[in-house]
């Protein structure tokens, strides 16, 4: 399996261009199933999760082709049933996004409990309850190799549904299904992440009637048909935030281009509090090292709060700051276990409980051999490797490739000593 070998301790410099958002393109690929025409998706990132989603769509019967390096054409009219292949769907959590469109279109969908990064329990109860509210019947089978589900709902009807927990993909899945069923659906306590209004705007351009996406209440009046369309993937806010944190941690001057600064305000405001130089322009941000990097506590939160997906890289930054930073992970219960590796590198991080860690800084980090446990912790290890003295080896970088396109090539251009070896 491929690994990264990083020789740390270098300052980076230059400009980096942010790619299309993983967590937006995956939703548009799913929405393609609802359309009675093809969708052309521009600014598609070359990442493993996109490849896995394409495999799933093709296996269902969709015709997917690249028009150029970054432009995809997806024609899902050729899909003829809602039966997902278990082993393919298991490979990524985002397979759950397909169940809403497949159910709305075929009246039935079969799928396994989705896989993906191990960062907590990741239940799907909110999806199942949401579909029940729309009139579907759920059949679960926990006896085979995989836990599998079949949802039947030939005559779904719009309904009111309140999310007990705020769920990004739950909001998106129910919003997509409701766009193509009879009646009006009102979803309350919805997630407000930027990928959601962007998905709603796209569906509205295809003929849907969705109001309120981006707020906690979304109203969807179902329509009988949606036409094809063109979608330009928005910049990846998590990638942008990752580079901003990486720049601050390695004391580098970096310009991060092609971003929507408003999408990473929570991160930039934390960096400013720590003393990092942050210059914000219309579609870029320039990061300059802090004279003295001060500790800063964060609490992850749904958008526009501090994203859970940047919690691990931020912890690496906190190891370089003077003082104590409390990192409170409120979204997932299994997203702090990577700290063992940071402590082996020289960090002084104490786990207070499954949701909180205390980081004592500043500490010198030393290169180590470690395995990437999930996408975002994997990126945190890359940041730690760049900060550390000596050589770090990060094993199994597939999990990093799932969400970051050619991360080593882009870091090399900024002056980092990082190579991929297989």
What are the residue numbers of the active site? 117
Among 44, 168, 174, 179, which residue interacts with ligand EPU (rule: CB under 6 A)?
168
By CB under 6 A, tell whether 279 contacts ligand EPU. no
- As measured in angstroms, the least distance from the Cβ of 415 to ligand EPU is 27
Cis peptide before 314 (omega within 30 of 0): no
Binders of ligand EPU among residues 107 to 126 (CB under 6 A) are: 117, 120-126
Binding segment toward ligand EPU, per CB under 6 A, in 165-173, 257-265, 337-345, 352-360:
165-173
What does DSSP say about strands 13-17 and 253-257: parallel, antiparallel, or unpaired?
Answer: parallel
Is residue 401 involved in binding ligand EPU (CB under 6 A)? Answer: no
Region 43-62 residues binding ligand EPU, contact defined as CB under 6 A: none
Contact with ligand EPU (CB under 6 A): which of 52, 90, 91, 93? 93
Among 152, 236, 309, 401, binds ligand EPU (CB under 6 A): 309
The residue from 72, 331, 359, 365 that contacts ligand EPU (CB under 6 A) is 331
* Owner of token pair 């930039």: 268
Give the total of residues touching ligand EPU (CB under 6 A). Answer: 27
Distance, in Å, from the CA atom of 61 to the CA atom of 318, rounded to the nearest integer, reads: 47
Contacts (CB under 6 A) with ligand EPU, residues 171-200: 191
Among positions 308, 311, 315, 325, the unique one binding ligand EPU when judged by CB under 6 A: 308
Stretch touching ligand EPU by CB under 6 A, among 28-36, 60-68, 161-169, 390-398: 161-169
Instruction: Output 12 or 377, the one with its CB closest to ligand EPU.
Output: 377
Binding residues for ligand EPU, rule: CB under 6 A, are 22-23, 26, 93-94, 117, 120-127, 165, 167-170, 191, 308-309, 331-332, 375-376, 403
């Amino acid at each position: 399996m491929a690994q990264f070998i990083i020789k740390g301790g270098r300052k980076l410099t230059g400009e980096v261009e942010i790619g299309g958002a993983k967590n937006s393109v995956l939703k548009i690929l799913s929405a393609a199933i609802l359309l009675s025409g093809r969708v052309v998706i521009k600014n598609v990132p070359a990442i493993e999760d996109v490849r896995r989603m394409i495999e799933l769509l093709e296996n269902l019967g969709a015709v997917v082709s690249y028009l150029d390096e970054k432009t995809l054409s997806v024609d899902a009219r050729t899909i003829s049933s809602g039966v997902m292949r278990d082993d393919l769907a298991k490979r990524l959590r985002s397979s759950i996004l397909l169940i809403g469109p497949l159910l709305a279109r075929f009246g039935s969908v079969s799928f396994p409990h989705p896989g993906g990064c191990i960062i907590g329990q990741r239940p799907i109860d909110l999806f199942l309850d949401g579909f029940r509210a729309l009139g579907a019947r759920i059949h679960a089978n926990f006896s085979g190799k995989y836990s599998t589900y079949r949802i039947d709902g030939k005559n779904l009807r719009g309904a009111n549904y309140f999310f007990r927990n705020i769920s990004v993909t739950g909001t998106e899945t129910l919003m997509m299904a409701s766009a193509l069923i009879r009646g009006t659906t009102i979803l309350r306590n919805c997630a407000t992440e930027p990928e959601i209004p962007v998905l709603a705007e796209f569906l509205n351009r295809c003929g849907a009637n969705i109001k309120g996406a981006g707020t906690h209440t979304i109203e969807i009046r179902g329509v009988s048909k949606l036409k094809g369309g063109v979608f330009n993937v928005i910049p990846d806010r998590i990638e942008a935030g990752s580079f901003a944190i990486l720049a601050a941690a390695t004391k580098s001057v970096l310009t991060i281009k092609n971003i929507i600064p408003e999408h990473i305000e929570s991160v930039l405001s934390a960096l400013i509090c720590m003393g990092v130089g942050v210059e914000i322009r219309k579609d870029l941000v320039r990061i300059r090292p802090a004279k003295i990097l001060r500790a800063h506590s964060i609490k992850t939160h749904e958008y526009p709060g501090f994203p859970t997906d940047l919690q691990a890289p931020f912890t690496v930054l906190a190891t370089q700051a003077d003082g104590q930073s409390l990192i409170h992970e409120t979204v997932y219960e299994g997203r702090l276990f990577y700290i063992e590796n940071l402590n082996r590198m020289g960090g002084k991080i104490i786990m207070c409980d499954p949701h909180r860690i205390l980081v004592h800084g500043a500490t010198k980090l030393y290169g180590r051999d470690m395995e990437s446990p999930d996408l975002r912790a994997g990126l945190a290890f890359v940041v730690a490797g760049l900060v550390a003295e000596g050589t770090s080896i990060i094993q199994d970088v597939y999990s990093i490739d799932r969400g970051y396109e050619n991360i080593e090539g882009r870091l090399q251009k900024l002056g980092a000593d990082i190579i991929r070896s297989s």
